[in-house]
Structure 1
Amino acid sequence: MLNRVILIGRLTRDPELKYTPAGVAVTQFTLAVDRPFTSGQGEREADFIPVVTWRKLAETCANYLRKGRLTAVEGRIQVRNYEGNDGQRRYVTEVIADNVRFLESSRQQSEQSPSPNAQNDPFKDEGQPIDISDDSLPF
């Protein structure tokens, strides 16, 4: 049997770091993952998937992830249930992550301190032709 999921999306809010009574770190956040199609009105829809991380990974996520950051999550789907205050049985489906990848640097970091090579970046014009003389080519 196999229970494995890989998601790429953006955080909808900053992660929430908490500790269990035994002192184990746990972080929860929601990942907005675009659907591969558009609605009838041509709008892109997304699924909002709850993600849980534990221990050192939880602390790392709490320290470095922020709302809007593009993130990859690898883990397993877990369904748990509990009884609400009203006596009704509630079911929660979430991804228990065992690997989280930060797919882009912090937006604030890149806006506040641009890379020293940013001015020399030949790809900064986003697909515009690059002027290169024949003398610059190695062949």
Structure 2
Amino acid sequence: MINRVVITGRLARDPELRKTQSGLSVCSFQLAVDRPKQKGQDDAVTDWISCQAWRQAADYICNYAKKGALLAVDGRLQTRSYDNSNGQKVHITEVVCEKVEIQRQAAGTGTTARTTQSGYATQNYGSSGFANTQSANSSYDEFDDFSSGPALDISSDDLPF
């Protein structure tokens, strides 16, 4: 069975950090995710997605993300229920985040940079708590395999295509 959710959206409000009795960090937040406009629609429909992150990911979000921040989330869908003070059963569906990235819009472009607003490096926290960091001032592009290393001197006659 597959239970995978990948979404990008803006924080609807500042995230809330709590600690469990055993000291684990848990962060609750809500993302505003716009659906693509359909023909004849003037406005996009926005979904309000409840999310939850644990451990280092929770600390990371609460320390560096504020209302309006653009987040990319990779996780799983989870449902739970509880009885409220009126004795009614309340059902909750939320995304439990396994990886989280704070993104920012690059000024004057339509592209998104994967660094935090505060100038910190890209940090991708998974459930294991491993952080993959990179200097925000470097020109490294993890998707460009050809920019590093010496240039190859190859004649176009030597290429098979």
Please report the TM-score for the alignment, with normalisation by the length of structure 2: 0.63
Percent pairwise identity? 44
User: Deviation at 1:85?
Assistant: 1.0
Distance 1:39 1:14, change over 3 A: farther
Aligned pairs (5 A) from 1:1-139: 1-38=1-38, 42-104=42-104, 105-106=116-117
Structure 1 consecutive aligned stretches of length 4 or more whose deviation exceeds 4 Å: 38-41
Q: In structure 2, the residue corresponding to 1:21 is in which secondary structure?
A: coil
1:122 counterpart residue number? none
Instruction: Determine the C-alpha separation between the residues in 1 that align with 2:34 and 2:11.
Output: 12
Cα offset, 1:96, TM superposition? 0.1
Alignment RMSD (CA, Å): 1.6
User: Which letter does structure 1 place at the counterpart of 2:77?
Assistant: I
36-45 or 46-55, larger mean C-alpha shift? 36-45
| Aligned-partner Cα distance in 2 for 1:80–1:37 | 31
Q: Which blocks of at least 5 consecutive residues in structure 1 are unaligned?
A: 111-139
Higher RCO, Cα 8 Å, sep 6+ = 1
Partner residue, 1:131:
none
**C-alpha distance after superposition, 1:29-59 (max 9, x if no partner):** 1000001125855111100001100011100
TM-score normalized by structure 1?
A: 0.73
Q: State how far apart, in whole Å, the 1-side matches of 2:39 and 2:30 are.
A: 22
Amino acid at match of 1:30: Q
Work out whether residues 25 and 56 of structure 1, in 8 Å CA contact, stay in contact via their aligned partners in 2: yes
CA deviation digits over 1:56-87, x for unaligned, max 9?
11001100111111110000000000111111
SS in 1 for 2:36: strand
Question: What secondary structure is seen at the aligned counterpart in 2 of 1:36?
Answer: coil
- Answer with 97-106 or 24-33: which moved more: 97-106
| Equivalent residue pairs, number | 108
Aligned equivalents of 1:86 and 1:24: distance in 2? 29
Alignment partner, residue 157 of structure 2:
none
Please give the alpha-carbon distance, in whole angstroms, between the structure 2 residues aligned to 1:82 and 1:39.
Answer: 40
Displacement, 1:21? 1.1
Partner-residue secondary structure (3-state), 1:44: coil
1:66-113: CA deviation from partner (whole Å, max 9, x where unpaired): 11111100000000001111111110000000100111142xx58xxx
Q: Give, in whole Å, the separation in 2 of the partners of 1:62 and 1:23.
A: 16
